[in-house]
Structure formats: C-alpha cells, structure tokens
Structure 1
Amino acid sequence: MTMASSVTAPVHTSNLRSAFWGERSGVHVSHVPAIRVGFVRKTVECKESRIGKQPIEVPSNVTITMEGQDLKVKGPLGELAITYPSEVKVEREEAGILRVKKATETRRANQMHGLFRTLTDNMVVGVSKGFEKRLQLIGVGYRAMLEGKDLVLILGFSHPVRMAIPDGIQVKVEDNTRIVVSGYDKSAIGQFAASVRKWRPPEPYKGKGVKYADEVVRRKEGKAGKKK
C-alpha cells in the first residue's frame, strides 16, 4: 500500500498580510521587484604640489652637474649630492632655473614631489649662502666653551658634556651662553643642534635648559601655597 505524499508550498506571512489588507481596503497590492543601485567610481586626479611646482633659482656661483637621477651642487661653501627616486625627475632650464617634476601620476610621486623640491632648494642655498641655527643656555652656572674640535657644555651634571663637532659644521660660542651652529648642510646643522638641545631640554616652570633662540617655551604655574 502506497501513501501519496503531499508537498506543501511555503507561505509567506508578509504576502498574506498584504493581500488581506488589500481586500479589506479595496486596493490592489502589487509587488515591485527591488532595483539595485550601482555606484560608479570616478578617478580623482591629485593636484600638483604647490611647493613642488615652484622653480629653483641657481646663482651664478653655483655649479650644477646632472647624471640621470643624480644631482651634484657645488658652490663657494661646499659640495652636496642627491639621488632622486624614480617617481620624480629634475630638469634644467635656461637662465639658471631648476624644476623638479613628477615622472608618474601616483600617490608616492605626489608625496616625493614637494619633498625633493625642498631638498634641492636647501642644497642650492646651502652651498651659496649657508644656514645657521642659534641656541641659548638658560640657568645658573650653565655655560658652553670650545676645546679644539669639541663643544663642551656645563649643564648641571656631575661632569661636563663633550660633543665632537662633525666635519662641515662650524660652531661658535658667544658670551658663554649662546651657541651658533652654521654650515652648508641644513640637515646636518639641524641634527647637531637638536643633539645639543637634547642634553637639557627647557623645563616649563623656570625655563632652565638649552633652547633655540627663536623657541617659545610655554611656562606653567608652580604649585600654589596653602591658603590660610
């Protein structure tokens, strides 16, 4: 004896509810299939760097040598060299003008454009005019002096701090409390000045320490006494 199997189709309550309310109100309810909305991505081209597109003026006393991605700059104060990445290139125009341009339209090229234009300009200015960084010592007994090719700092430690002056950098001490770091390599000057300041950064209560001459130290108010 065989039994007939009955198959029951699934019933969606939402369809029954819609049909019921349609019959009650006399309104025919129709189901509209949903439409997928697609979004079209547009390629946004990055603008050219405001710094990178500025020309670099080369003085008459500076010699430029270009070999592929290598650039050498020689002037009365010294000689510097730089190697450009593949994303940027340098071109020399007439009337002694250099321009750093993007070789490709990529995100990294946009990042390197302004950076290497600034580095190139620092090289040209450095070998022709030079840079300097000024430091000031503030504190009772704090002083600096030169001993041969070393800079000696008295900063309240149990022993004096002795720092060797790198080649290509000149250091001058004025009134035992002011230090002038000069040279043609801006990055080397900044690195040495930061190393000097690192020994005793200025503290915010009395301002004691080693600070840049143009640095503004934000002062804090000390602990107030007990109110009577």
Structure 2
Amino acid sequence: MSRIGKLPIELSDKVNVDLSGNEIKVKGPLGELSYVFSDKVTVLKEDNSIVVKPVNDEAKALWGTTRAIISNMVIGVTEGYKKTLEINGVGYKFEVAGDKLILSIGYSHKVEMKVPAGLKAQLDDKAKNVLHISGIDKQLVGEFASKVRAKKKPEPYKGKGIKYADEHMRRKAGKTGGK
C-alpha cells in the first residue's frame, strides 16, 4: 500500500489542470507542464484536488510514482525549482553567455554546455563562484545540475571541483610525508 499515493494533491486557485485520456496538463503562473501516465493508474480531479488510484495490484508500483510526479508538476508551475552549485579551485569559474554555460575547470580548454530549453542558469550577484539553475520541471533542473557537477566532481583532498551548495563533502588528510 503506497503511503504517498493515498494522499490527494491539493490545488491552489492559480493552477489549472486538464485531464484527457492518459495525459495530464498542469498550467500555472510560471508555465505549463504535461505528463503521460500509465493506463494502470487512474487520475481523478475532485473539487480542488487530484486523486491517483491504482487499477489493480500490479499497478501499486506506479501509484506513488505517478502521484509524486504530478505533485512535482503542480509545485513547479506555482513556485518553480532551483539548484545551487558552487565551484572551488584556483582559476575555476562559471560563465553564462546566452543559452550556454562555460566552465573553466582546470583543463587546457573551456567546457561549454548548452542550457536546456525551459531552464535558466544565472550567476550569483555577490559570489561569482555560485551558479543558480532554475526551472519549472524538477527532473530537468536536477538532471542538468547533475551533468554540470559531473564535469568536475569535488575531490576530497583540496576540495576542488563543482558541488551542490547544500552538499557536505568529507575532507581527507594528504600523505603524511617521508621517514
């Protein structure tokens, strides 16, 4: 029995939901998202909430997942999602030029990444080593932030690399020296 799946998704007045077949469209002040869910679950709109129910016992595996995805869509179109990355290291920096993110991360060349449509990458006003990635699609925001971090993961000795702002990194002691 899914504990997440049982909970109804509360809708605010700003959110408009359209159900047609196995597709749900959620419109809000920040944009519009759509999702095609499995026919093994039913999605019903009741008053000011959305309820997800499994069709049979096999569908219970998709029940909580479908409810969580729809809930993330509702939050995304009303509040949006944001991931913050920090870069540490001598000469390491972020640059944003149009829809491209340019990383200087210790290679002989700069690494360019295209920012996906629907996302916004911007540098922090106060600290140039901080990058904010924001958008309405939680999966897209997290996936792009993960790809940026994967270009130069933080190393435990000097702490150089790209890490999430809320990520705690365990530091290690270096070599202890000679005899």
Tell me the secondary structure at the aligned position of residue 52 of structure 1.
helix
Local SS of the residue matching 2:148: helix
Residue 133 (structure 2) pairs with residue 181 (structure 1): yes
Matching residue's letter, 1:68: G
Per-residue CA deviations over 1:171-220 (Å, capped at 9, x if unaligned) read 11122200000010111111111111011000111111000001111222
TM-score by length of 1: 0.75
Letter in 2 for 1:52: G
Corresponding residue for residue 22 of structure 1: none
Deviation at 1:92, TM superposition (A): 1.0
- Report the counterpart of residue 110 of structure 2 in structure 1: 160
1:163 Cα shift? Answer: 1.1
- 1:35 paired residue number: none
Q: Which has the higher strand share?
A: 2
Report how many aligned residue pairs link the two structures: 177
Displaced runs of 4 or more, over 3 A: none
User: What runs of 5+ residues in structure 2 fail to find an aligned partner?
Assistant: none
Greater RCO structure (CA 8 Å; 6+ sep):
2
In structure 2, the partner of 1:123 is 73
Greater radius of gyration (CA): 1
What residue is the counterpart of 1:97 in the other structure? 49
1:25-104, aligned counterparts within 5 Å?
Answer: 48-94=1-47, 96-104=48-56
Amino acid at match of 1:138: N
CA distance in 1, matches of 2:164, 2:53: 35
- Residue 94 of structure 2 corresponds to which residue in structure 1? 144
Cα-Cα RMSD: 1.0
Query: What are the ranges of 5 or more consecutive residues in structure 1 without an aligned counterpart?
Result: 1-47
Identity %: 44
